[in-house]
Every structure is written in structure tokens, then in C-alpha cells.
Amino acid sequence: MEYKFTDIEGKWKKIWEENAVYKVTEDASKPKYYVLDMFPYPSGAGLHVGHPLGYVASDIYARYKRLKGFNVLHPMGWDAFGLPAEQYAIETGTHPALTTDVAIKRYRQQMDKIGFSFDWSREVRTCEPDYYKWTQWIFLKLYGSWYNTETNKAEPIETLIAKFSANSDWNTKTEGEKQRELMNHRLAFQSYSEVNWCAALGTVLANDEIKDGKSERGGHPIERRKMRQWFLRITEYSDRLLDGLDKLDWSDAMKEMQRNWIGRSEGALIKFEVQSSKIKVEQPLEVFTTSPDTIFGATFMVIAAEHELVEALTTPEQKAEVEKYIAYVKSRTDVERQQEKKVTGVFTGSYAVNSFNNENIPVYIAEYVLGGYGTGAIMAVPADDERDRKFAEKFGLKVVEVIDKSMYPGATIEDKLGKMINSDFVNGMEVKDAIKAVIAEVEKRGIGEKKVNYKQRDAGYSRQRYWGEPFPIQYKVVGEIDPPFEGGETDDIPVPLSADKLPLILPEVSSYKPSGDGRAPLANSEEWVKNGYETDTMPGYAASSWYFLRYMDPKNKNEFAAKDKIEYWQNVDIYFGGAEHAVGHLLYSRFWNMFLYDLGLVPFEEPFKKLVNQGMIQGRSSFVYRVAARVTQSKLDNIESDEYESPAIFVTREIYDRFKENALTPNDIASIKAKEEEANALLNGKGIDGSFKLTEPLSIIMLNEYAHNFDDERLVVDLFKVNDVKKSRCGNSNSLFVANENGDCLTTREVEKMSKSKYNVVNPDDVIEKYGADCFRMFEMFLGPIEQSKPWDDKGISGVSNFLRKFWRLFYDDKGWKVSDAEPSGAEYKVLHKTIKKIAEDIERLNFNTSVSAFMIATNELGGLNSSKKKILEPLLICLAPFAPFITEELWSALGNKGSIHTAAYPKVEEKYLTESEFDYPVSINGKVRAQVKLSLDLTAQEVEKQVLELEKIKQYTNGAAPKKFIFVKGKIINVVV
């Protein structure tokens, strides 16, 4: 009988659904286990083969835990708010809710085919009012709380008001003054920060939407602009977020990234007096430094372009140059500023006084100093900091060596090691003592203090977008009695909605575009504005910061989740998701959970005990590179923003590289020439004027990997798509490609992230149709270690497909059912128990790729033994069930079992079949294997040495003499050193 996966999979999917096999309820009689996946953003492109990698792994794990007797919570839902749906809405006018709904249905269909054991009755959608009601509710809690550093936890703002009330000042304040003071303490608060403002698009852009300082869409200029924004005071939790990491079963890499992100550093704040020949500046310049010991080497200062003293410090002579530089910096994102290899900066014209040696040191502005970190100003020590050194070299500034590292060979500039030199009273001290001594001196002089600084900033919580949670906030004008917020032009104060008014439903708007005046699209709703509601919405991470709690009680109307249910399920035992969330989602959700813990709303401080980061499955994109195009003169003059209207010639990367190096081979030239003639013929036919030029700028277009023949209609269509999507400046339907003799377009293939925009997506549906879901699941696991990124390549899938059919043939052959009830041999039992053990160990360790090989080995061995015995195959089937739920269910029922295999018990290993009495030792001479010898495992080291030295092969090397050394590792290896 043949293995017909389509029939089998269709049949069992239906039965599982009808019997709600995967529905789970709280059951005190069983230990609980919570297996969670990072929920997906349902994009319009549907699932590609990369998405299910983690889901298959978690599904195997969840199924395994069920077989092991756990009550497993394994839910799935949708992170449904997001920019792509909004972008699509702007382009097409379709409501994001519709787009999202369609996308979710598509994802769900695709997921169902794969045979996941999710309890879909617990599905959540973050864009539904039932869900975001509670996101808003938690926001109100954050707004209504402050962080008490004495109790070291969040408390209701009322306890702070009570503290303030004890102070008579407080009661004399106006309501506006009180609110403004409270705003400085609330965990959700408003402040000002810089954003990427694009005037042409009338909107704020994510760094992601900016390429080379211009908007990705349209290439418009960007400037940094200050805006009033909501923030979450995550920095109050920095120490707890840092300390909590120690208790988590996460990879060291992941913990390290969070530690570095929080970036706790101990150092000092030091004030420098400023002198200026033209202006008298009263305010000192305050810096944060982690190396106060190097103060005698501070030969200049650098401030950020957004520093408040920039204007005051700039002398009239330097004014023009400073303004020019600031305009340049404003056009760049923080990432670009730090990435910049070129050293840039400008002198303000002013000097500060290094009060430790009374030297006047120049004050510069440079982009490598960021406004948001520390005080936005540094004392530059070119002797002890790489960037400062480069800056000093470029601007010809003095370098004074202050640390002698000669007694620490190998110590780098970053290591805080060495003895102080050229440093007055700290000369001769070790660095760590000098740090203490300088801080003590700074404090004595009253010009600074010891300070712990964090790189982490408070989390921006406002987005000028439509498709997100509305803030449950109304602005009330306080007018004359309320002085405006610092630096702000508004005179209104935010007033929270009461909890019983939630959810505050996202309104319909006339346009999804921003209002144009800098306000978000919600300002397009008259009703909304009339009510004074906040027009910003919450960011993407809001909903995902707590969704794992909602799964415990997804339908609850009165609470985000009932206490007893949270009490039962507790925190997530194992969390599967991408490493790209290391410092975003995984930090925010830990923070939210700690906050809820402080308020007594959840009984655990950390949400995710164990974390598994699955790698990304990459796609193979095909590229071609432009080497020539016919352009008109006007186009040539403005080559940057050009869209070529006439043929361009595309070649492979190799040819392009040779072209750039002026090293084209005769072959290359011939193929380009041929295309050139083709291009000219095309042009003449259309009467287009222009000259054919070899073009310099590197241009790349991507081709659909399946589009080979460029004469084919399909490729032309795809090229149009490429141009539309990428706003490509290099190709059109007349583009010409260097091809091989078959007419296949020659491309360069590169491995990169799988994405619709790169035309390298492989759809799991196609794979499942061809090979079945069980095969798809096992192949995804067989590709490699779960944590590793790897390119998709379906070449190897036939191996897994062969395995499943071979496995099937242990049960059925041409004549039909062949499983017998006979007693298996010891060899057969050995195969079984070896496999049971290996699979259980591999799953616990998440080595799913090697478990697939173990199944292959077992099947090959049983096939070799011609073994088809129920006592072997039945337990083996249970081991395979988590990996291949369909085929195992079918064979389980064929064996005569009534219930589902997925509710069976994992078989027990019987060690008696596995114990060995002998081992075939490799014997090496000086580390090289020269002989094999089978020895009993009971022998003592002396007996082994005696026997090994007797071996003819070994005697050849020892010449009968005693070896220098004899190494015997029981059960592993023997090494003879001669």
C-alpha cells in the first residue's frame, strides 16, 4: 500500500479539529507547561518557508511535553497593528483592518496545513478592541504610577502625592504646576525628543524608512525635529532588568546584548568652566566620563550638535561654519552619525578650563557625540580613546599620554589597566585607584560627583501613525493658570480617561495620510479632535509587551486575565523567537511584566524563563548589475534621480566587477556589444534620441529567481514589479540582459533575508503540496541547527521524503500490512531503545536536526534487519509523532489503537538493551590514529597498556621500548607518546 500524504493529512486534520484534540484547560492534576512562539505580524505576502521554522520547533517541543504528561499551553495569535498595512492604506485607501483580516485568514490557512497543535480557541488579535482595551488599561496604570526608589518598585501616583502633600509648598501650587511636577515622575510621561521629520511627506519616519539621509519613498530630505512625545520610564527598571538576566535560561549572547543595551557604567559628572573671548558664559559645561582618571589628558572638549550651549559657545567668527555643520548633522540619523568613518567636526571658537591643570582647552562640536547619551558633552582624551585620538589627529590637537600600559602587555586601550603618568597627584597610581582619587578630588572641589550612567534611554511611546492603539488621553486646556510645558507651545494638559470608558475605539478617518501639520492621521477625524483626544497612537511594541498573559484568559471581559488562571499557568517556560528581538520586544515585555508584578497583578517578575532563538531562513536573490544605458543629455545631467527611459544593459556581478576594474574579457565585451546593437535597433525603431554611455553608478535590480528566460512574458512583468517596488532607477521594460546560449538571463545569486520585496520568497504551500506537511516539518528541522540562519534549498528535501516512504514500508509493502506480533530480537530492541533515548535527549537539547538523522538511521537499521514488529514499531511511532503528526496518527490507528497518538505516553528507555561490554578503541601514536583494538570495558589502565603495547602495529612505532607517556581514556581513546 502506498503512502498517500494528501489523503492522510486531510483526514486527520478534520478529525483533530472535530475532537478539539489540542484544546487545553487549567487542570490542577497535571503539571503545566507553557510553550510560546513570538506571534507573527500578518503581512500581505503570506507565510514564507522561513516563518514556520520556529513554529515547527515549538510544536515538536509542545507535543513532546504532552507525551511526557504535561498540560501544555501552546497558543498563537496576531501582532496585528503595524506600518505595512498602514502604508498600503495610504496607497490604496483600503482600511488596514480589512487588509489585516485578509492577511490573518491567509496565514491561518497556511499554518493549518502544517499541522500545528495550537489551541486556536485562545487566539488573540492585538488590533481588536477586546484586546487593546487592556493595552490601554495597562498604559493608564503606567501613567498612574511612579517609581519609588526607596521601596524599589512602582507604586500608584497617589503615594507620591501623599509625600508631596506633607510639604506645604505643594498645596500652594496650581493644578497645572502640580500636574507638571507629577509628569516628571509618572512611568508613562510626556517629554520632548528629536524625531526624523520629513517635511515633504509631512510625517515622521522610522530610521528604517531612511536611506542615505533621504526618505526611502521619494528621496526627500529629512531633518531632526523636536516633538512632544509620550515615553515610558524604563530606565527606572535598568538595574532590575540587568540583575534579572542572571536568573534566566537564555543564551549568553542574548543576555550580553541586553546588558550592553542597558549599558550601565560607573563614572563621574564633572563640570568645566567655560571661557569665551566674546561671550561670557555663566553656565559650566557638564560632562560624563567613565575614565575620570584621565582628566590630565583631556586636551579638548566635544559637545553634541543638539547641546543647549551650542549657541552660547559659538563665537561670531565661527558662527557661519557652526551653522553649516549643525545643518549637516541634523540631516543625519544617530546610526549614520556613529557609523561615519570620516572624522567631522567644527570648532565653536570657545575654550573651557581644565581646572586640574588650568589649561584652556578648545570646545568642538562633532557628530560622534550624541545628545541623548550622558550629558551630550565629553572631555576628550585622545591618549585613551580611539575616536578622540582620530579627532585630535584630524584637527591637529594636542595629545598627552596619561596611562603607561607597558607592564600590561597585550592590554588594549579599552582595558582599564596601567599606571598613571603626566597626571600630577595621581602619578604612579594604578588606573582603578586613580579613578577613585580623581572622583574624591572632584567632589572635594565641588565641581562634580560620582555617577552611574545608563546608555539605555526612556522608551519613546508615541507614533504619528493611524494603525495603532489610541491613547486613552484627552487634552484639557488650562490656559492662563497653567504655564506651558517646558519648551512647548501648548498649554494643555493630558487627562486620562477613566477605566470604565475603555476601550477608546480607533476612529474612522477621511485619510490615512498624516494631517500635514505634523500631527498624526487621527487629526483627520473632526470628532476626535473636537473631543481633545491624543492624536498619536501607541507603538508596535505596546501590544506585544503583554500578549503572553492574555492567552491565559483571552475572552475575559473584566480583567486582562483572571488571577487564578495566571496563577495556574505562571510564566512562559520556553519561548521561541528570532534573535532580532533581543533588545526590543524582549526588553520591553520584561519591563511591562516587572511593572505588573510591582502592582501585584502577576505573581512572577520575569515573563520568559527559557528562550530559544531560531535562525532566519534566507532566500536566494538573483541580481543583475547595470553597465550601460542610453540616456538623453538632460538625464545624464541629473543621473541621481533618473529613471532611464531607454534600454540599459545588465550583467552579472563578475562581469560588472571586471567592468569597473577595466578588465573586461573579450567574451564580456562581445556579449555587451551584442546587446548594444540590440539596444540601438530598439531605439531607432522608436526614434528616441540619445547617446549610449557606459554608466558609472552601481545599480542593482533584482529578478524573480524563477524568471530565467528574458524573452518570457513573465520576466517582463516581474521587472515592472521590481521597478515599482524598488523605485528602481536603472531598468525598464526595454532592459537587456546578458544571457547564456539557452537564452537564460545570467544573474548573480546572493543569500539574504527572505522577503517579498526581494523576489526570493518560497511559499510553504507549494512544498506541502508536493511532499506533504510531515515532510515539510521534518525537512525544516533537518536543514540544520534551529539557532542557525541558513539559506532555503529544497534540493535536500527528497532525502526526508524518501525517509518517510521507507518508514511507511516498515508497515506496508506491495502486498499490504506486514506488521507482526512476534517477539523482537535483542538487536531490534537495541535499535529501538537507542533511538528513544537519542530522540528524547535531542528534543530536550533542541537538536532537532540530529533527531531527524536518528530516525533515518533507525529506519535504515530496521530495514536491514527486515524487522516489522509491533513491539518495536509502536513505541518508535510515538517518538516520531511530535515531528510527523499525520503519518504517525495514521499508522497508530492502523495498529489498532483507539485514541490519538498525540495523547499517548512517551516510551521509557530500557538501559539493559544498551549496555556494552567492549569498545573498539582507536590507538594513536603521538595523536595520529594508527590502529584499532577491541578491548573489554572492565580492563584496568595497566591491563590496557600491556595489551596495547603488545600489538604488532604499535610495536612498529615503539620498537619495543617503553613509551614516553601512555594516555588511556576509558571508552574513548588510547594515545601512545613515543
**Contacts of RNA in 547-586 (CB under 7 A):** 578-585
By CB under 7 A, name the one of 394, 845, 908, 912 that touches RNA: 845
Provide the minimum distance between the beta carbon of 851 and RNA in the complex, in angstroms, as a whole number: 10
Provide the minimum distance between the beta carbon of 524 and RNA in the complex, in angstroms, as a whole number: 17
Q: Segment contacting RNA (CB under 7 A): 284-292, 309-317, 554-562, 922-930?
A: 922-930
Closest CB to RNA among 459 and 493? 459
Q: Segment contacting RNA (CB under 7 A): 24-32, 258-266, 489-497, 908-916?
A: 258-266
Site for RNA in 147-186 (CB under 7 A): none
Provide the minimum distance between the beta carbon of 304 and RNA in the complex, in angstroms, as a whole number: 14
Binding flag, residue 225, RNA (CB under 7 A): no
Binding flag, residue 331, RNA (CB under 7 A): no
Cα radius of gyration rounded to whole Å, the chain = 34
Provide the minimum distance between the beta carbon of 597 and RNA in the complex, in angstroms, as a whole number: 22
By CB under 7 A, name the one of 208, 282, 741, 814 that touches RNA: 208
Closest CB to RNA among 84 and 690? 84
Binding flag, residue 472, RNA (CB under 7 A): no
Site for RNA in 63-122 (CB under 7 A): 79, 81-84
Site for RNA in 647-706 (CB under 7 A): none
Binding flag, residue 760, RNA (CB under 7 A): no
Site for RNA in 861-890 (CB under 7 A): 863-864
Please classify residue 436 by burial: count the beta carbons closer than 10 Å to its beta carbon, then call 0-12 exposed, 13-18 middle and 19+ buried.
Answer: middle
Pairwise CA distance, residues 692 & 135, whole Å: 59
Beta carbons within 10 angstroms of residue 723's beta carbon: 18
Provide the minimum distance between the beta carbon of 9 and RNA in the complex, in angstroms, as a whole number: 19
Pairwise CA distance, residues 944 & 374, whole Å: 66
Binding flag, residue 452, RNA (CB under 7 A): no
Site for RNA in 958-977 (CB under 7 A): 965, 967, 969, 972-973, 975, 977
Binding flag, residue 44, RNA (CB under 7 A): no
Provide the minimum distance between the beta carbon of 283 and RNA in the complex, in angstroms, as a whole number: 26
**φ, ψ for residue 651 (rounded to 5)?**
-135, 180
Site for RNA in 288-307 (CB under 7 A): none
Contact 85, 67 (CB under 8 A): no
Binding flag, residue 455, RNA (CB under 7 A): yes
Provide the minimum distance between the beta carbon of 427 and RNA in the complex, in angstroms, as a whole number: 28
Contact 188, 154 (CB under 8 A): no
Alpha helices, H only, 153-304:
157-165, 168-172, 175-183, 238-244, 252-262
Closest CB to RNA among 442 and 843? 843
**φ, ψ for residue 245 (rounded to 5)?**
-60, -35
The single-letter code of the amino acid at 438 is V
Site for RNA in 505-534 (CB under 7 A): none
Provide the minimum distance between the beta carbon of 202 and RNA in the complex, in angstroms, as a whole number: 13
DSSP 8-state secondary structure symbol assigned to residue 234: G
Binding flag, residue 195, RNA (CB under 7 A): yes
Provide the minimum distance between the beta carbon of 794 and RNA in the complex, in angstroms, as a whole number: 9
Provide the minimum distance between the beta carbon of 972 and RNA in the complex, in angstroms, as a whole number: 3
3-state secondary structure at position 446: coil
Binding flag, residue 32, RNA (CB under 7 A): no
Q: Which residues of 821-859 are buried (b: 16+ CB within 10 A; e: fewer)?
A: eeebeeebbbbbbbbbbbbbebbeebbbbbbbebbbebb
Q: Which secondary-structure segment (H or E) carries 191? A: strand 188-198
Pairwise CA distance, residues 7 & 13, whole Å: 10
Provide the minimum distance between the beta carbon of 331 and RNA in the complex, in angstroms, as a whole number: 15
Provide the minimum distance between the beta carbon of 633 and RNA in the complex, in angstroms, as a whole number: 36
Report the length, in residues, of the chain. Answer: 978
Binding flag, residue 333, RNA (CB under 7 A): yes
User: Whose grid coordinates read 488562571?
Assistant: 565
Alpha helices, H only, 20-80:
52-67
Instruction: Give how many residues touch RNA by CB under 7 A.
Output: 106
Site for RNA in 775-794 (CB under 7 A): 782-785, 788-791, 793
User: Whose grid coordinates read 599620554?
Assistant: 401
The C-alpha cell that represents 880 in the structure block: 516520531
Provide the minimum distance between the beta carbon of 6 and RNA in the complex, in angstroms, as a whole number: 17
Beta carbons within 10 angstroms of residue 348's beta carbon: 28
By CB under 7 A, name the one of 26, 130, 209, 239 that touches RNA: 209
3-state secondary structure at position 259: helix
Largest CA distance in the chain: 105
Binding flag, residue 207, RNA (CB under 7 A): yes
Binding flag, residue 53, RNA (CB under 7 A): no
Q: Which residues of 904-926 are buried (b: 16+ CB within 10 A; e: fewer)?
A: bebbebeeebeeeeebebebbbe
- Interface mask (CB under 7 A) for RNA, residues 226-245, using x and -? -x-x----------------
Q: Which secondary-structure segment (H or E) carries 920? A: strand 918-925
Which bin fits 202, alpha (ψ -120 to 50), beta or left (φ > 0)? left
The C-alpha cell that represents 823 in the structure block: 517477539
By CB under 7 A, name the one of 860, 936, 940, 942 that touches RNA: 860
Closest CB to RNA among 526 and 844? 844
Closest CB to RNA among 467 and 560? 467
Provide the minimum distance between the beta carbon of 87 and RNA in the complex, in angstroms, as a whole number: 9
What's CA 247's distance to the chain center, in Å?
Answer: 22
Closest CB to RNA among 51 and 902? 51
The single-letter code of the amino acid at 531 is N
Provide the minimum distance between the beta carbon of 475 and RNA in the complex, in angstroms, as a whole number: 18
Pairwise CA distance, residues 419 & 824, whole Å: 75
Site for RNA in 713-742 (CB under 7 A): none
User: Whose grid coordinates read 612505532?
Assistant: 957
Closest CB to RNA among 333 and 357? 333
The three-point CA angle 488-213-373 to 5° equals 55
Binding flag, residue 802, RNA (CB under 7 A): yes
- Spell out the long-range contacts of 159-168 with Cβ–Cβ below 8 A and sequence spacing 24 or more: 160/185
Closest CB to RNA among 566 and 880? 880
Q: Segment contacting RNA (CB under 7 A): 103-111, 283-291, 328-336, 487-495?
A: 328-336
Binding flag, residue 851, RNA (CB under 7 A): no
Closest CB to RNA among 71 and 614? 614
Closest CB to RNA among 481 and 969? 969
Pairwise CA distance, residues 830 & 841, whole Å: 16
Binding flag, residue 798, RNA (CB under 7 A): yes
Q: Which secondary-structure segment (H or E) carries 529? A: helix 526-530
User: Whose grid coordinates read 563614572?
Assistant: 267
CA distances from 950 to 658, 953, 960 (A): 64, 9, 9
By CB under 7 A, name the one of 128, 158, 249, 256 that touches RNA: 256
Residue whose C-alpha is closest to residue 343's, from 391, 397, 392: 391
Binding flag, residue 344, RNA (CB under 7 A): no
Provide the minimum distance between the beta carbon of 432 and RNA in the complex, in angstroms, as a whole number: 20
Q: Which residues pair with 631 in a beta bridge?
A: 691
**φ, ψ for residue 727 (rounded to 5)?**
45, 45
Closest CB to RNA among 368 and 597? 368
Give the torsion sign (CA, 822, 824, 828, 829). positive
DSSP 8-state secondary structure symbol assigned to residue 557: S
Q: Segment contacting RNA (CB under 7 A): 59-67, 504-512, 745-753, 872-880?
A: 745-753
Provide the minimum distance between the beta carbon of 536 and RNA in the complex, in angstroms, as a whole number: 8
